[in-house]
């Protein structure tokens, strides 16, 4: 999570969210921060960018055995993307009561109607992750 926090701090013009993807052996496959403002792309969330980069790194879209670590609870788009990518484990920091899709508002990743449900660890370094976001919005 500390690595994701450092990635989140690299884009001062966008909401500071950082995501990293670790391979089954624990090596970092990809890292990304939000790039919506930088690219003008509404889908350029940290999680989506990290998923794209990790898939390119391993040469396929299935990221089975991989872990996504992100500083903020994923939204519906990102939660859906990580389920489709077959991420095995999701670790996130701060809860997002307005748009969170891992338990706050929706629970996409645990929906039994979908073909994949990752293991979830929530609230990791929650205070530090939330503090970074609060500082941005002041």
Q: Which residues are annotated as a binding site for Zn(2+)?
A: 45, 75, 78
Q: Which residues 6+ apart lie within 8 Å of 11 measured at CB?
A: 33, 34, 35, 37, 38
Residue whose token pair is 């996130």: 92
Q: Tell me which of 35, 47, 73, 96 is the catalytic residue.
A: 47
Which letter does DSSP use for residue 108 in this model? Answer: G
* Chain centre to alpha carbon of residue 130: 14
Q: What are the binding residues? A: 45, 75, 78
Catalytic annotation on 128? Answer: no
What DSSP state is assigned to residue 17?
-
Tokens 């077959």: give the residue.
86
Catalytic positions, please? 47
């Amino acid at each position: 999570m500390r690595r994701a926090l450092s990635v989140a701090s690299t884009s001062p013009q966008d909401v500071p969210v950082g995501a990293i993807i670790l391979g089954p052996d624990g090596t970092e496959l990809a890292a990304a921060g939000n790039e919506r403002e930088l690219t003008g792309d509404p889908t350029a969330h940290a999680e989506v960018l990290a998923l794209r980069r990790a898939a390119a790194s391993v040469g396929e879209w299935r990221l089975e055995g991989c872990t996504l670590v992100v500083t903020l609870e994923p939204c519906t788009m990102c939660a859906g993307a990580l389920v489709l990518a077959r991420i095995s484990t999701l670790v996130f920091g701060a809860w997002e009561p307005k748009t969170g899709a891992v338990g706050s508002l929706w629970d996409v990743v645990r929906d039994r109607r979908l073909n994949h449900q990752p293991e979830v660890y929530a609230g990791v370094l929650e205070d530090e992750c939330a503090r970074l976001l609060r500082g941005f919005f002041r």
